């Protein structure tokens, strides 16, 4: 199957509410991003297991899309809404794009990936293709490992349709004959426990010299008859329902946010249904029955030619021992600006330090915190926690800091989506050992990434800080491109102290020296800088903006960019994901180019560059240009005033992406994305590959 080099149009069916700009549709833009990720599955220059990984990533992204973005559209369908942002029409348009994307996924899976795996001697064998020995092996496995955990539920007035958890695997069966009590209840549900592996490797004795797997759904399907003794199994299908998983907590009414979220987590798996996936051969009768049970319209039904959960195929990557089918391993080098064995505090007194992840190791950040924990002159450590992961060396260091008697204050964001339970557990652990734990400001997510260390040096206290565009998560720091910034700048660290004080006490934030904070002045200051640059451009002064972020959806910021572009400023936007600002529209955004980089690593750093004449400013930030980030989150942006570091960021994060002709996509005036000329050419320039080679050549790799 040939993937189109252009994605489908994503123009919103509704005009923008302000001005003449017709913005693109945010939800459609999110799906268009997944089209770009899916292109990696089709690329012959990508190792086979990595192509499978990208397929699984798209499936995971789609799961989250339906968990977070679909519910308002479905509610509009239920209410028959035809006006506003969410309508019957918006749902229909979204469903067309989503169905097209899913169809391409499974076409790639069946027509490209599976044949390619077969050539490598790796097979997922269906029941119809298994020989007698393999069927015997599967039967033994079913009786030993699967049957004891299955309890089919026959539906009748005493056994209503069971609660089906979000994204769980299930079977629906239509039975003939009568049950043990002489009744003709014909529908039964088989819920498959999550503890069972979705992919099972067959014994070498029956594999015929190949690496052979069977899917759990195939194993159960082959033995459905044995689960219904005395009944005839007629129609059947695997199915999976996706549910709205956005936790609804009333910020105005909640008294204890942690308790409220714990209660909410108990119900997350059973929220409003938003999507139903069934086997391609599912009968209309069973499909209609399920749609009725989950109160879903027909367009929410997805018939798939394969497993209903492609995400779980990631197990195959771990189960196959074939390093030649993976990307060559990459080990990040130790941060080049840091001298191992020399005190961080001494180094930061001389100059600020920049770390570019994942090319440089997150170990540098951990070592900074470790030195602070072990240094007897360090009196206090303050840190924000958003997504650290369930197993975190960083949290262990904070625990050790408390044990050593330091004042530890942690601002934990409990409402970090899908990490709520992990963060609740960390907050309870830290509180139990004596750390000061606060949850920021009710109604606002604390998304800023900052770590502040206060140290006694002679007769005075001195502050040192780490700021970041990404999370304090060693695992994602190996997969996301982000920037860490270490500094002892007294003005910037004083700003951070005031921000921590405000988050803890909720007192008024004083005037800051260098940092820009949302929801207070970040939005206003960015618009002001864009407008000032545009006005200068209108007077003949060269104006240049290069902005790198993950998403651009804030209307006021987009309108400011349009104004500046019309006044003559040259604007390049490097936006990995959703972008609602159309590029190169005649008379509207002629001077605005939008580029998306989809590479081996997830582009995640936020960099904002402004140049008016010979004066340039560069900011790093935790914030994307979305309304929620600007007005409903605590976000941080800070200037990089060191010319040396500023030029390094320009070269590695901006120029490199603008010259990428392997992994880059450009947004067209009609709302489609088109791969840049020469994309996919192994001899072309890929920003990420170039940076990997640059840092690998410097030696001092992680773990050495």
Residues annotated as catalytic (active site), given as ranges? 447
Burial class (CB in 10 A: 0-12, 13-18, 19+), 685: middle
Interatomic CA distance for residues 483 and 495, integer angstroms = 19
Q: Is residue 295 left, alpha or beta, with left meaning phi > 0 and alpha meaning psi from -120 to 50?
A: left
Residues 6+ apart with CB under 8 A from 658: 546, 572, 574, 595
Residue of 310, 87, 325 lying closest to 215 (CA atoms): 310
The DSSP call for residue 671 is S
| Distance between CA atoms of residues 621 and 516, nearest Å | 9
Please say whether the beta carbons of 529 and 610 come within 8 A.
Answer: yes
In the DSSP assignment, the letter for residue 325 is G
327: tokens are 């990307």
Distance (Å, rounded) from C-alpha 432 to C-alpha 340? 34
b vs e for 572-588, b when ≥16 Cβ sit within 10 Å of the residue's Cβ?
bbbbbbbbbbbbbbeeb
The residues, ordered by sequence, that sit 6+ positions from 566 with a Cβ below 8 Å of its Cβ are: 534, 588, 590, 591
Q: How far apart are CA 397 and CA 371, in angstroms?
A: 10
Q: Exposed, middle or buried by CB within 10 Å (0-12, 13-18, 19+), for 328?
A: exposed
Rounded Cα distance between 475 and 657, Å, is 24
Structure tokens at 336: 């080049």
**For the chain, what's the residue count?**
704
170-176 and 187-191 as β-strands: parallel, antiparallel, unpaired? antiparallel
Dihedrals phi, psi of 24, to nearest 5 degrees:
-80, 160
Closest CA to 271 of 240, 294, 297, 243: 243
DSSP β-bridge partners for residue 479: none
How far apart CA 666 and CA 672 sit, in angstroms, is 8
Q: Is 400 helix (H, G, I), strand (E, B) or coil?
A: helix
Q: Please report, for residues 454, 507, 518, the alpha-carbon distance to residue 382 in angstroms, rounded to integers and kept in the order given.
A: 9, 17, 19
Helix (H) or strand (E) holding 78: helix 71-79
For residue 160, the SS3 value is coil
Q: Which residue is listed with tokens 């069977």?
A: 214
Dist CA 23 CA 627 (whole Å): 14
In eight-state DSSP terms, residue 650 is I
d(CA 530, CA 353): 28
Find all residues with CB under 8 Å of 128, minimum gap 6, and list them: none
Greatest pairwise CA separation for the chain in angstroms: 89
């Amino acid at each position: 199957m040939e993937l189109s080099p252009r994605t489908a149009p994503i123009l919103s069916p509704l005009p923008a509410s302000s001005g003449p700009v017709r913005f693109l549709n945010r939800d459609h833009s999110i799906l268009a991003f997944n089209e770009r990720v899916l292109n990696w599955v089709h690329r012959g220059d990508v190792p086979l297991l990595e192509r499978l990984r990208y397929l699984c990533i798209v499936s995971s992204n789609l799961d989250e899309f339906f968990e977070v973005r679909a519910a308002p559209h479905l509610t509009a369908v239920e209410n028959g809404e035809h006006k506003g942002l969410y309508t019957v029409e918006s749902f229909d348009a979204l469903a067309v794009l989503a169905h097209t994307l899913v169809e391409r996924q499974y076409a790639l899976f069946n027509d490209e990936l599976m044949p390619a795996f077969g050539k490598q001697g790796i097979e997922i064998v269906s029941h119809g293709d298994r020989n007698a020995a393999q069927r015997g092996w599967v039967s033994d496995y079913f009786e030993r490992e699967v049957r004891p955990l299955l309890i089919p539920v026959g539906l009748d007035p005493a056994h209503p349709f069971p609660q089906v958890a979000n994204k769980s695997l299930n079977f629906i069966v239509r039975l003939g004959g009568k049950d043990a009590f002489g009744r003709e209840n014909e529908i039964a549900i088989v819920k498959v426990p999550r503890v069972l592996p979705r992919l099972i490797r067959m014994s070498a004795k029956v594999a015929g010299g190949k690496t052979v797997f069977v899917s759990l759904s195939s194993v159960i399907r082959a033995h459905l008859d044995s689960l219904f003794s005395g009944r005839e199994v007629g129609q059947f299908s695997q199915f999976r329902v996706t549910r709205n998983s956005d936790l609804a907590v009333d910020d105005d009414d909640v008294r204890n946010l942690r308790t409220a979220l714990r209660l909410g987590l108990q119900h997350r798996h059973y929220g409003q249904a938003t999507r139903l996936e069934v086997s391609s051969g599912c009968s209309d009768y069973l499909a209609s029955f399920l749609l009725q049970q989950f109160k879903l319209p027909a367009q929410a039904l997805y018939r798939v030619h394969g497993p209903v959960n492609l995400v779980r195929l990631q197990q195959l990557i771990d189960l196959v021992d074939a390093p030649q089918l993976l990307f060559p391993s990459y080990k990040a080098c130790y941060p080049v600006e840091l001298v191992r064995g020399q005190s961080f505090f001494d180094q930061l007194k001389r100059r600020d330090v920049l770390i570019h992840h994942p090319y440089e190791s997150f170990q540098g950040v951990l070592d900074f915190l470790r030195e602070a924990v072990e240094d007897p002159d360090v009196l206090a450590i303050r840190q924000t926690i958003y997504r650290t992961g369930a197993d975190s060396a960083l949290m262990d260091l904070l625990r050790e800091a408390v044990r050593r008697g330091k004042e530890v204050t942690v601002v934990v964001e409990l409402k970090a989506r899908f990490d709520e339970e992990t963060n609740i557990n960390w907050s309870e652990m830290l509180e139990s050992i004596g750390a000061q734990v606060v949850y920021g400001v009710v109604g606002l997510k604390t998304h800023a990434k900052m770590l502040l260390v206060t140290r006694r040096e002679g007769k005075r206290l001195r502050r040192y800080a780490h700021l970041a565009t990404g999370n304090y998560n060693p695992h994602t720091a190996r997969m996301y491109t982000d920037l860490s910034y270490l500094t002892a700048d007294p003005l910037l660290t004083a700003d951070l102290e005031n921000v921590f004080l405000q988050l803890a006490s909720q007192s008024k934030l004083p005037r800051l020296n260098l940092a820009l904070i949302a929801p207070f002045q970040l939005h206003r200051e960015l618009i002001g800088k864009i407008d000032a640059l545009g006005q200068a451009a209108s007077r003949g002064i060269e104006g240049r903006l290069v902005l790198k972020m993950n998403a651009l959806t804030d209307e006021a910021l987009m309108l400011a960019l349009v104004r500046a572009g019309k006044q003559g400023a040259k604007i390049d936007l490097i936006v990995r994901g959703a972008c609602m600002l159309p590029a190169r529209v005649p008379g509207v955004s002629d001077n605005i180019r939008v580029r998306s980089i989809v590479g081996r690593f997830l582009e995640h750093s936020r960099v904002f560059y402004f140049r008016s004449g010979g004066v340039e400013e560069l900011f790093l930030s935790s914030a994307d240009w979305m309304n929620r980030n600007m007005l409903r989150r605590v976000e941080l942006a800070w200037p990089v005033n060191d010319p040396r570091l500023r030029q390094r960021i320009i070269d590695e994060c901006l120029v490199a992406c603008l010259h990428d002709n392997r992994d880059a996509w450009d947004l067209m005036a009609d709302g489609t994305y088109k791969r840049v000329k020469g994309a996919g050419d192994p001899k072309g320039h890929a920003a990420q590959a170039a940076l990997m080679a640059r840092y690998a050549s410097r030696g001092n790799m992680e773990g050495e």
